[in-house]
Amino acid sequence: MAQDNKVEDLVQQVAREYDDLSKQLKLIAQYITGHRQQMVVVRIRDVADACNVQPSAVVRFAQRFGFSGFSDLQAVFRDAYASGTVTGSYQQRLKAVISEHPAQMKSSELARSFMKTCQVGIASLQDELDDRAFEKAVTILQDAQHIYIMGVRRMFPVASYLGYALLQTRKRVIMVDGLGGLYKEQIEGLSKGDVLISISMAPYGVETGYCTDLAVEREATVLAITDSSLSPISRAAAVTLTVHESEAYFFRALACTMSLAQSLFIALAYRLELNMERTDDRAVHD
Protein backbone atom coordinates (compact mmCIF):
# COMPACT_ATOMS: atom_id res chain seq x y z
CA MET A 1 0.00 0.00 0.00
CA ALA A 2 1.46 3.38 -0.98
CA GLN A 3 2.16 5.89 1.76
CA ASP A 4 -0.09 8.51 0.24
CA ASN A 5 -3.23 6.40 0.73
CA LYS A 6 -5.66 7.94 3.15
CA VAL A 7 -6.11 6.69 6.68
CA GLU A 8 -9.67 5.65 5.84
CA ASP A 9 -8.43 3.46 2.99
CA LEU A 10 -6.20 1.60 5.44
CA VAL A 11 -8.92 1.30 8.05
CA GLN A 12 -11.37 -0.12 5.55
CA GLN A 13 -8.81 -2.63 4.25
CA VAL A 14 -8.14 -3.76 7.81
CA ALA A 15 -11.89 -4.11 8.40
CA ARG A 16 -12.31 -6.26 5.28
CA GLU A 17 -9.51 -8.61 6.29
CA TYR A 18 -10.06 -8.51 10.05
CA ASP A 19 -11.63 -11.97 10.37
CA ASP A 20 -8.57 -13.57 8.75
CA LEU A 21 -6.09 -12.00 11.18
CA SER A 22 -4.48 -13.82 14.09
CA LYS A 23 -5.50 -12.94 17.64
CA GLN A 24 -2.43 -10.73 18.09
CA LEU A 25 -2.96 -8.91 14.82
CA LYS A 26 -6.61 -8.33 15.69
CA LEU A 27 -5.54 -6.59 18.91
CA ILE A 28 -3.19 -4.36 16.92
CA ALA A 29 -5.93 -3.63 14.38
CA GLN A 30 -8.29 -2.56 17.16
CA TYR A 31 -5.64 -0.29 18.69
CA ILE A 32 -4.74 1.42 15.42
CA THR A 33 -8.39 1.93 14.48
CA GLY A 34 -9.27 3.42 17.85
CA HIS A 35 -6.13 5.56 18.33
CA ARG A 36 -5.63 7.26 14.99
CA GLN A 37 -4.45 10.54 16.47
CA GLN A 38 -1.95 8.83 18.75
CA MET A 39 -0.53 6.90 15.78
CA VAL A 40 1.13 10.12 14.66
CA VAL A 41 3.53 10.13 17.64
CA VAL A 42 3.56 6.68 19.28
CA ARG A 43 6.57 4.39 19.14
CA ILE A 44 6.39 0.77 18.10
CA ARG A 45 7.01 -0.21 21.74
CA ASP A 46 4.00 1.89 22.82
CA VAL A 47 1.71 0.02 20.42
CA ALA A 48 3.15 -3.33 21.45
CA ASP A 49 2.71 -2.61 25.18
CA ALA A 50 -0.85 -1.35 24.69
CA CYS A 51 -1.74 -4.57 22.84
CA ASN A 52 0.31 -6.83 25.12
CA VAL A 53 2.30 -8.19 22.17
CA GLN A 54 5.92 -8.12 21.05
CA PRO A 55 7.14 -5.32 18.73
CA SER A 56 7.74 -7.99 16.09
CA ALA A 57 3.97 -8.55 15.98
CA VAL A 58 3.45 -4.86 15.14
CA VAL A 59 5.98 -5.23 12.31
CA ARG A 60 4.11 -8.31 11.05
CA PHE A 61 0.87 -6.32 11.10
CA ALA A 62 2.43 -3.55 9.02
CA GLN A 63 3.85 -6.07 6.54
CA ARG A 64 0.51 -7.89 6.40
CA PHE A 65 -0.96 -4.75 4.85
CA GLY A 66 1.87 -4.06 2.42
CA PHE A 67 4.15 -1.80 4.44
CA SER A 68 7.86 -2.39 4.88
CA GLY A 69 7.56 -1.87 8.63
CA PHE A 70 6.04 0.22 11.41
CA SER A 71 7.59 3.51 10.26
CA ASP A 72 6.12 3.05 6.79
CA LEU A 73 2.69 2.36 8.33
CA GLN A 74 2.98 5.35 10.67
CA ALA A 75 3.77 7.63 7.73
CA VAL A 76 0.16 7.25 6.55
CA PHE A 77 -1.08 8.81 9.78
CA ARG A 78 1.62 11.48 9.80
CA ASP A 79 0.78 12.46 6.23
CA ALA A 80 -2.88 12.72 7.23
CA TYR A 81 -1.90 14.88 10.21
CA ALA A 82 0.17 17.15 8.00
CA SER A 83 -2.80 17.64 5.66
CA GLY A 84 -5.18 18.23 8.58
CA THR A 85 -7.29 15.10 8.03
CA VAL A 86 -6.59 13.44 11.37
CA THR A 87 -6.31 16.23 13.89
CA GLY A 88 -5.59 19.90 14.36
CA SER A 89 -7.63 22.79 15.67
CA TYR A 90 -10.17 24.66 13.56
CA GLN A 91 -7.75 27.57 13.36
CA GLN A 92 -5.00 25.30 12.06
CA ARG A 93 -7.29 23.87 9.40
CA LEU A 94 -8.41 27.31 8.26
CA LYS A 95 -4.80 28.42 8.03
CA ALA A 96 -4.13 25.38 5.85
CA VAL A 97 -6.99 26.38 3.55
CA ILE A 98 -5.57 29.89 3.24
CA SER A 99 -2.08 28.56 2.50
CA GLU A 100 -3.44 26.35 -0.28
CA HIS A 101 -5.56 29.16 -1.73
CA PRO A 102 -3.51 32.37 -1.37
CA ALA A 103 -5.92 34.30 -3.57
CA GLN A 104 -8.96 35.22 -1.52
CA MET A 105 -11.86 32.93 -2.32
CA LYS A 106 -15.45 34.15 -2.46
CA SER A 107 -17.63 32.92 0.38
CA SER A 108 -20.11 31.51 -2.13
CA GLU A 109 -17.29 29.66 -3.87
CA LEU A 110 -16.27 27.99 -0.62
CA ALA A 111 -19.90 27.15 0.15
CA ARG A 112 -20.62 25.55 -3.23
CA SER A 113 -17.43 23.53 -3.11
CA PHE A 114 -18.28 22.20 0.33
CA MET A 115 -21.85 21.42 -0.76
CA LYS A 116 -20.53 19.54 -3.78
CA THR A 117 -18.38 17.42 -1.50
CA CYS A 118 -21.42 16.64 0.64
CA GLN A 119 -23.38 15.59 -2.45
CA VAL A 120 -20.64 13.18 -3.48
CA GLY A 121 -20.56 11.74 0.04
CA ILE A 122 -24.31 11.15 0.16
CA ALA A 123 -24.21 9.50 -3.26
CA SER A 124 -21.56 7.11 -1.96
CA LEU A 125 -23.60 6.44 1.18
CA GLN A 126 -26.60 5.57 -0.99
CA ASP A 127 -24.55 3.12 -3.06
CA GLU A 128 -22.84 1.51 -0.06
CA LEU A 129 -25.84 1.25 2.28
CA ASP A 130 -26.08 -2.24 3.78
CA ASP A 131 -29.74 -3.10 3.20
CA ARG A 132 -29.80 -6.01 5.65
CA ALA A 133 -28.14 -4.01 8.42
CA PHE A 134 -30.50 -1.08 7.87
CA GLU A 135 -33.61 -3.29 7.98
CA LYS A 136 -32.31 -4.94 11.15
CA ALA A 137 -31.70 -1.53 12.71
CA VAL A 138 -35.29 -0.46 12.04
CA THR A 139 -36.61 -3.72 13.50
CA ILE A 140 -34.50 -3.29 16.63
CA LEU A 141 -35.90 0.21 17.17
CA GLN A 142 -39.43 -0.95 16.46
CA ASP A 143 -39.18 -3.64 19.17
CA ALA A 144 -37.38 -1.49 21.75
CA GLN A 145 -38.99 -0.80 25.12
CA HIS A 146 -36.92 2.38 25.52
CA ILE A 147 -34.55 4.03 23.07
CA TYR A 148 -31.48 5.73 24.53
CA ILE A 149 -29.39 7.96 22.27
CA MET A 150 -25.76 8.92 22.85
CA GLY A 151 -23.36 11.08 20.84
CA VAL A 152 -20.83 13.67 22.00
CA ARG A 153 -18.93 16.59 20.46
CA ARG A 154 -19.15 16.42 16.65
CA MET A 155 -21.77 13.68 16.84
CA PHE A 156 -23.96 15.55 19.33
CA PRO A 157 -26.02 17.34 16.62
CA VAL A 158 -26.86 13.98 15.05
CA ALA A 159 -27.82 12.46 18.40
CA SER A 160 -29.87 15.55 19.26
CA TYR A 161 -31.77 15.35 15.97
CA LEU A 162 -32.56 11.67 16.48
CA GLY A 163 -33.74 12.39 20.01
CA TYR A 164 -36.15 15.03 18.69
CA ALA A 165 -37.33 13.02 15.69
CA LEU A 166 -37.89 9.70 17.45
CA LEU A 167 -40.12 11.40 20.02
CA GLN A 168 -42.57 11.93 17.15
CA THR A 169 -42.99 8.14 16.81
CA ARG A 170 -44.48 7.76 20.29
CA LYS A 171 -41.55 5.55 21.28
CA ARG A 172 -40.11 6.15 24.74
CA VAL A 173 -36.88 8.05 24.05
CA ILE A 174 -34.14 9.13 26.45
CA MET A 175 -31.54 11.58 25.16
CA VAL A 176 -28.23 11.12 26.99
CA ASP A 177 -26.92 14.66 26.55
CA GLY A 178 -24.60 14.73 29.56
CA LEU A 179 -25.99 18.06 30.74
CA GLY A 180 -24.19 18.99 33.93
CA GLY A 181 -21.83 16.05 33.42
CA LEU A 182 -24.64 13.62 34.32
CA TYR A 183 -24.44 11.19 31.40
CA LYS A 184 -23.74 8.28 33.79
CA GLU A 185 -26.86 9.11 35.75
CA GLN A 186 -28.92 9.56 32.56
CA ILE A 187 -27.97 6.12 31.26
CA GLU A 188 -28.49 4.40 34.62
CA GLY A 189 -32.02 3.16 33.79
CA LEU A 190 -30.85 1.23 30.71
CA SER A 191 -31.82 -2.44 30.90
CA LYS A 192 -32.56 -5.56 28.89
CA GLY A 193 -35.16 -4.88 26.20
CA ASP A 194 -33.90 -1.34 25.67
CA VAL A 195 -31.81 -0.07 22.74
CA LEU A 196 -28.88 2.32 22.83
CA ILE A 197 -28.20 4.23 19.61
CA SER A 198 -24.48 4.85 19.99
CA ILE A 199 -23.02 7.43 17.58
CA SER A 200 -19.26 7.87 17.48
CA MET A 201 -16.51 8.58 14.95
CA ALA A 202 -12.73 8.61 15.33
CA PRO A 203 -11.20 9.54 17.71
CA TYR A 204 -14.29 8.11 19.51
CA GLY A 205 -15.81 9.75 22.58
CA VAL A 206 -14.93 8.22 25.93
CA GLU A 207 -18.43 8.98 27.21
CA THR A 208 -20.04 7.14 24.31
CA GLY A 209 -17.73 4.20 24.90
CA TYR A 210 -18.74 4.08 28.57
CA CYS A 211 -22.46 4.03 27.71
CA THR A 212 -21.92 1.36 25.06
CA ASP A 213 -20.04 -0.88 27.50
CA LEU A 214 -22.78 -0.39 30.08
CA ALA A 215 -25.41 -1.38 27.51
CA VAL A 216 -23.59 -4.66 26.89
CA GLU A 217 -23.27 -5.25 30.64
CA ARG A 218 -27.00 -4.63 31.11
CA GLU A 219 -27.89 -6.89 28.13
CA ALA A 220 -29.43 -4.02 26.22
CA THR A 221 -29.11 -3.86 22.43
CA VAL A 222 -26.59 -1.53 20.82
CA LEU A 223 -27.22 0.08 17.44
CA ALA A 224 -23.94 1.66 16.35
CA ILE A 225 -23.56 4.51 13.87
CA THR A 226 -19.83 4.81 13.28
CA ASP A 227 -17.05 5.07 10.71
CA SER A 228 -15.62 1.55 10.85
CA SER A 229 -16.69 -1.99 11.63
CA LEU A 230 -13.61 -2.10 13.87
CA SER A 231 -14.52 0.95 15.96
CA PRO A 232 -14.90 0.36 19.72
CA ILE A 233 -18.68 0.74 19.64
CA SER A 234 -19.09 -1.46 16.57
CA ARG A 235 -17.57 -4.49 18.25
CA ALA A 236 -20.26 -4.31 20.94
CA ALA A 237 -23.18 -3.67 18.58
CA ALA A 238 -25.97 -5.96 17.43
CA VAL A 239 -25.98 -3.98 14.19
CA THR A 240 -23.63 -1.34 12.79
CA LEU A 241 -24.47 1.34 10.24
CA THR A 242 -21.20 2.59 8.74
CA VAL A 243 -20.72 6.15 7.49
CA HIS A 244 -17.70 7.57 5.68
CA GLU A 245 -17.95 11.33 5.71
CA SER A 246 -16.51 13.36 2.84
CA GLU A 247 -13.98 16.10 3.52
CA ALA A 248 -13.47 19.52 2.01
CA TYR A 249 -10.92 22.16 3.02
CA PHE A 250 -9.73 19.89 5.87
CA PHE A 251 -13.19 19.73 7.45
CA ARG A 252 -15.26 16.56 7.65
CA ALA A 253 -18.90 17.07 6.72
CA LEU A 254 -21.90 15.91 8.74
CA ALA A 255 -24.15 15.52 5.74
CA CYS A 256 -23.85 11.74 5.41
CA THR A 257 -24.29 10.98 9.10
CA MET A 258 -27.28 13.32 9.38
CA SER A 259 -28.80 11.88 6.21
CA LEU A 260 -28.47 8.36 7.59
CA ALA A 261 -30.04 9.43 10.89
CA GLN A 262 -32.98 11.05 9.12
CA SER A 263 -33.43 8.00 6.90
CA LEU A 264 -33.48 5.76 9.97
CA PHE A 265 -36.20 7.88 11.57
CA ILE A 266 -38.31 7.99 8.41
CA ALA A 267 -38.06 4.23 7.89
CA LEU A 268 -39.07 3.55 11.50
CA ALA A 269 -41.93 6.06 11.45
CA TYR A 270 -43.25 4.57 8.21
CA ARG A 271 -43.17 1.03 9.58
CA LEU A 272 -44.87 2.00 12.85
CA GLU A 273 -47.60 3.91 11.03
CA LEU A 274 -48.13 1.06 8.58
CA ASN A 275 -48.49 -1.44 11.41
CA MET A 276 -50.94 0.88 13.18
CA GLU A 277 -53.11 1.14 10.06
CA ARG A 278 -53.14 -2.65 9.70
CA THR A 279 -54.17 -3.00 13.34
CA ASP A 280 -56.99 -0.50 12.83
CA ASP A 281 -58.17 -2.32 9.70
CA ARG A 282 -58.30 -5.64 11.57
CA ALA A 283 -60.25 -4.00 14.39
CA VAL A 284 -62.84 -2.64 11.94
CA HIS A 285 -63.30 -6.00 10.22
CA ASP A 286 -63.55 -7.83 13.54
Q: For residue 180, what is the domain's CATH number?
A: 3.40.50.10490
Residue 233 predicted with pLDDT over 90? no
Burial class of residue 246, CB neighbours in 10 A (0-12, 13-18, 19+): buried
Same domain as 144, residue 74: no
Same domain as 193, residue 278: yes
Cα gap 245→201, rounded to integer Å? 10
Average pLDDT over the chain, rounded to whole?
80
Tell whether omega for the bond before 157 is within 30 degrees of 0, i.e. cis: no
Phi/psi of residue 240, each to 5°? -120, 130
Residue 280 predicted with pLDDT over 60? no
The residue-averaged pLDDT of 228-234 equals 78
For the chain, what is the radius of gyration of the CA atoms? Answer: 21
Residue 103 predicted with pLDDT over 90? no
**pTM beyond 0.85, yes or no:** no
Encode pLDDT of 25-44 as tens digits: 988 888 887 677 677 777 88
Same domain as 145, residue 59: no
H-helix segments, the chain: 7-17, 23-34, 44-51, 55-64, 70-83, 90-100, 107-128, 131-143, 156-166, 183-186, 206-217, 255-285
Cα of first residue to Cα of last residue in the chain, in angstroms, is: 65
Confidence band of 247 (pLDDT split at 50, 70, 90): low
Same domain as 74, residue 173: no
Which of 83, 118, 134 terminates a domain? The answer is 83
Encode pLDDT of 67-91 as tens digits: 988 988 888 887 776 554 444 444 4
Same domain as 277, residue 158: yes
User: Which amino acid, residue 216?
Assistant: V
> What pLDDT was estimated at residue 171?
86
CB 53 within 8 A of CB 28: yes
CB 142 within 8 A of CB 271: yes
Same domain as 167, residue 33: no
Confidence band of 197 (pLDDT split at 50, 70, 90): very high
Same domain as 71, residue 162: no
Confidence band of 261 (pLDDT split at 50, 70, 90): very high
Q: How many CB atoms are closer than 10 A to CB 235?
A: 16
Q: How many CB atoms are closer than 10 A to CB 275?
A: 11
Most confident of 93-97, 178-182, 249-253, 260-264: 260-264
Q: Is residue 217 part of a domain?
A: yes
Encode pLDDT of 123-156 as tens digits: 888 888 888 999 999 999 999 999 999 998 889 9
Residue 243 domain boundaries: 126-285
